[in-house]
């Protein structure tokens, strides 16, 4: 299976820019997607196919990358962005998720 590696946690101050990385163990073309999960809630789609903003998601969120290295950027970060962010690839079978990056605000 394709392993997706994310940093476990980040802490930033409101108003700053934050980049969350996801590295794949093998190429996934542009088929990387990002989700936000707040405590006690279901995941919510943020970015699909590396750089496409999902419907209703603020333009503060953006995605980039291709192949094996991908980044989710939030600029500027707001207090409501406290959550865990997961990447997911769908190029290789089976679809797999990263372990998640917990974003905390200082």
Q: Which stretch binds other proteins (CB under 8 A): 10-18, 58-66, 73-81, 86-94?
A: 86-94
User: Which residues 6+ apart lie within 8 Å of 14 measured at CB?
Assistant: 76, 77, 78, 79, 105
Q: Is 64 in the site for other proteins (CB under 8 A)?
A: no
Q: Is 70 in the site for other proteins (CB under 8 A)?
A: no
Q: Which stretch binds other proteins (CB under 8 A): 17-25, 48-56, 59-67, 71-79?
A: 48-56
Exposure of 20 in the CB half-sphere (CA atoms within 13 A): 36
CB 87 within 8 Å of CB 7: no
Residues that bind other proteins (CB under 8 A): 31, 33, 35, 41-45, 48-49, 54, 86, 88, 90, 94-100
């Amino acid at each position: 299976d394709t392993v997706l590696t994310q940093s476990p946690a980040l802490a930033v101050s409101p108003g700053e820019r934050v980049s969350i990385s996801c590295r794949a163990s093998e190429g996934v073309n542009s088929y990387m997607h990002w989700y936000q999960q707040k405590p006690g809630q279901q995941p919510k789609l943020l970015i699909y196919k590396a750089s496409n903003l999902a419907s209703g998601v603020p333009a503060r969120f953006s995605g980039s990358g291709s192949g094996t290295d991908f980044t989710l950027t939030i600029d500027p970060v707001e207090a409501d962005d406290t959550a865990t962010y997961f990447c997911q690839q769908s190029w290789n079978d089976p679809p797999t998720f990263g372990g998640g990056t917990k974003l905390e605000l200082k």
